[in-house]
Amino acid sequence: MIALGCDHGGYSLMQVVKAHLDAQHIAYQDFGCFSEKSVDYPDYAHKVGHAIQDGTCDKGILICGTGIGVSITANKMKGIRCALCTNEYMARLTREHNDANVLAMGGRVTGPGVAEGIVDAFLMTPFSQGERHIRRIRKMEEDE
């Protein structure tokens, strides 16, 4: 199950992401927001982070205007590894190397076609299980 969250700056791109997931029959839980009315992005990043922490969802997608605010917020949460990606290469590598569990994108930065490719790469790429990557992820958590 994929947890989805956005603010008003990410709302439009999130509609594209949802349609793309629907087309592939990928299940998601939408934590909002649900319009372009101004909201506070940390509220939605926290909802997505909590859904992963409590096991309701195994991955998340967060979108704000730049992707920066949601990614900073999510990365302060224990066990969350959120990667702000602007291309498929970053999305693939963050899964292979960082075992990222949340993808962040910028609704005012990334176009719909590129975003679909980023989402596909993020959701389809497994963690490499490489020993050096496991070691580095453990080191990230030492200072959590």
Residues with catalytic function: 64, 97
Please give the residue ranges that form the binding site for ligand RB5 (CB under 6 A): 7, 9, 41, 64-66, 68-69
Tell me the residue number closest to ligand RB5, measured at CB.
69
Nearest residue (CB) to ligand RB5, 31 versus 41? 41
> What are the DSSP calls for 14-77, one per residue?
HHHHHHHHHHTT--EEE----SSS---HHHHHHHHHHHHHTTS-SEEEEEESSSHHHHHHHHTS
Q: Phi then psi for 102, rounded to 5 degrees?
A: -135, 135
As measured in angstroms, the least distance from the Cβ of 90 to ligand RB5 is 18
Nearer CB in complex with ligand RB5: 72/123: 72
User: Residue 10's closest CA among 86, 108, 136, 135?
Assistant: 108
- Name the minimum Å distance from CB 130 to ligand RB5: 32
Q: Which of residues 67 and 101 has its CB atom nearest to ligand RB5 in the complex?
A: 67
Contact 99, 133 (CB under 8 A): yes
Least distance between ligand RB5 and beta carbon 109 (Å): 9
